């Protein structure tokens, strides 16, 4: 079960109606963390109704309640706390906030985080060329 600002999130009804994505942190039984983003709603294009020319756009809910993280290592771990940090109405905002938190926490350089990269561009060895 997810928690957001002290409230339990049991379904899409407990999220802000405009929320399409959220940024989260999951704490696992070994004490490590995983920071990520999750899409919870998507706009789907449907064919136009008979007699109309414009396609329809319908908001559909995506499953998230039992989500435990996308990293391979988390399949072996048990989550003890799942916390939503930010709710977003745009995927781009969620991507930015996830990256900002990962950089601020120095997550890819700390063993207490499972994250190994930021945006698929910056990895644990990204500072190997730094001259001190």
Q: pTM for this structure?
A: 0.87
At 23-78, the pLDDT tens digits run: 999 999 999 999 999 999 998 898 999 899 889 888 899 999 999 888 888 888 99
Residue 129 pLDDT grade (very low, low, confident, very high; cuts 50, 70, 90): confident
CA 67, 86, 97 angle in degrees (round to 5)? Answer: 100
8 Å CB contact between 88 and 19: yes
At 96-125, the pLDDT tens digits run: 999 999 999 999 999 999 998 888 888 888
Enumerate the β-bridge partners of residue 83. 3, 25
Query: Distance between CA 60 and CA 40 in Å, rounded?
Result: 9
Could you tell me the two tokens for 132? 């001190």
């Amino acid at each position: 079960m997810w928690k957001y600002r002290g409230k339990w999130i049991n379904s899409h009804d407990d999220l802000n109606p405009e929320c399409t994505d959220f940024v989260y942190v999951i704490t696992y039984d070994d004490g490590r963390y995983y920071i990520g983003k999750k899409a919870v709603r998507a706009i789907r294009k449907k064919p136009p109704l008979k007699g109309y020319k414009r396609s329809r756009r319908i908001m559909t809910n995506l499953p998230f309640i039992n989500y435990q993280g996308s990293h391979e290592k988390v399949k072996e771990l048990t989550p003890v706390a799942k916390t939503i940090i930010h709710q977003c109405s745009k995927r781009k905002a969620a991507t930015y906030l996830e990256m900002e938190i990962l950089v601020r926490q120095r997550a890819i350089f700390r063993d207490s985080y499972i994250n190994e990269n930021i945006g698929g561009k910056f990895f644990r060895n990204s500072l190997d060329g730094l001259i001190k």
